[in-house]
């Protein structure tokens, strides 16, 4: 059944990825109308998240953000499909890396680094950094239950030269690579870590968008263990289908930072990014279900 589902859906996804840009976003508008107006996908979750995150905004302002968010969300999902067939040159026109001072500094350090991003703007096209870095990119992802779609996701995310590693295996992979002389210091680890970790007694809580929530600290722990440089990928949506990404160094000596300091800086940068473009965050996620 999983195989049948995949082979029924895959040709449709491929055709969508080949659509010219104008037709591509027209199709996204149609999908958005269905998802937002007809199905109302997670509308209550989105509305509650926005109300709690922006208590100072009026109902009209929140409604505007919500509407823009659904348009962006549909665009972003389809843009992931576009990665199936888009050319390197075309993608670099739509997703540009700017202000490359910090990026170049990391590239010149001859030391592996962790590039930590958020579910904001277009995080899928961040893998295009593989086209400009001298390092071996390691993309961390959560596996998909259907093995055929899982293989497709890995294929999409590795198109620009990345190694794609399941999140449960990244620590073992990184330790192995960073302890071998032939691979030590030549990796860029890309991780998106702004959502909700499983709840346990050891969770670290941080104020985020006005509420204290548990946050992932694994990236910081791994970076300290392996003495990796630590940076944030800030992404801004310029206009529909066009983004600018900037690498911002958090630390070049993470072992000297206090416990959770790097995580706090990262989460503050994520919040700043959200407040600048609230419609570009993934509000369908139940990010605050464990808020204190």
CA 190/CA 127 separation, integer angstroms: 8
Average pLDDT, the chain: 95
Position 188 in a domain: yes
pTM over 0.85: yes
- Identify the pLDDT of residue 201: 78
For 64-89, what is the mean pLDDT? 97
pLDDT at 292 over 90: no
Position 292 in a domain: no
- Identify the pLDDT of residue 119: 96
Nearest to 153 by CA among 113, 185, 173, 124: 124
Position 89 in a domain: yes
Give residue-wise pLDDT tens across range 107-140.
999 899 999 999 999 999 999 999 999 999 999 9
Position 290 in a domain: no
Position 288 in a domain: no
Region label for 47, one of left (φ > 0), alpha (ψ between -120 and 50) or beta (otherwise)? alpha
Decide if 76 contacts 122 (C-beta within 8 A).
yes
Position 250 in a domain: yes
Q: Per the structure, how many domains does the chain have? A: 1
Decide if 195 contacts 120 (C-beta within 8 A).
no
Position 285 in a domain: no
Give residue-wise pLDDT tens across range 241-287.
999 999 999 999 999 999 999 999 999 999 999 999 999 999 999 99
Distances 289 to 14, 34, 52, 207, 225 between C-alpha atoms, Å = 36, 27, 12, 14, 30
Domain of residue 218 covers 2-280
Position 287 in a domain: no
Residues facing residue 137 across a β-bridge: 188
């Amino acid at each position: 059944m999983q195989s049948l589902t995949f082979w029924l859906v895959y040709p449709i996804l491929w055709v969508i990825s080949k659509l010219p840009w104008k037709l591509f976003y027209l199709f996204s508008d149609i999908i958005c109308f269905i998802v937002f107006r007809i199905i109302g996908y997670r509308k209550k979750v989105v509305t509650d998240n926005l109300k709690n995150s922006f208590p100072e905004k009026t109902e009209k302002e929140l409604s505007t953000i919500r509407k823009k968010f659904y348009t962006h969300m549909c665009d972003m999902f389809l843009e992931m499909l576009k990665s199936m067939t888009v050319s390197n040159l075309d993608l670099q026109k739509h997703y540009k890396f700017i202000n490359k001072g910090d990026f170049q500094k990391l590239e010149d350090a001859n030391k592996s680094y962790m590039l930590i991003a958020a579910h904001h703007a277009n995080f899928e096209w961040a893998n295009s950094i593989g086209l400009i870095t001298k390092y071996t990119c390691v993309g961390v992802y959560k596996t998909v239950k259907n093995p055929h779609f899982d293989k497709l996701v890995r294929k999409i995310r590795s198109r620009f030269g990345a190694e794609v590693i399941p999140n449960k295996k990244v620590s073992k992979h990184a330790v192995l690579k960073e302890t071998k002389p032939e691979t030590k210091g030549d990796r860029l680890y890309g991780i998106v870590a702004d959502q909700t970790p499983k709840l346990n007694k050891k969770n670290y809580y941080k104020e985020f968008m006005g509420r204290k929530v548990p946050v992932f600290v694994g990236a910081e722990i791994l970076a300290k263990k392996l003495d990796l440089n630590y940076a944030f990928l800030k992404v801004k949506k310029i206009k529909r289908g066009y983004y600018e990404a900037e690498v911002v160094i958090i630390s070049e000596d993470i072992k000297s930072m206090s416990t959770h300091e790097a995580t706090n800086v990262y989460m503050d940068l994520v919040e700043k990014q959200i407040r600048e473009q609230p419609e570009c965050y993934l509000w369908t996620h139940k990010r605050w279900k464990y808020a204190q």
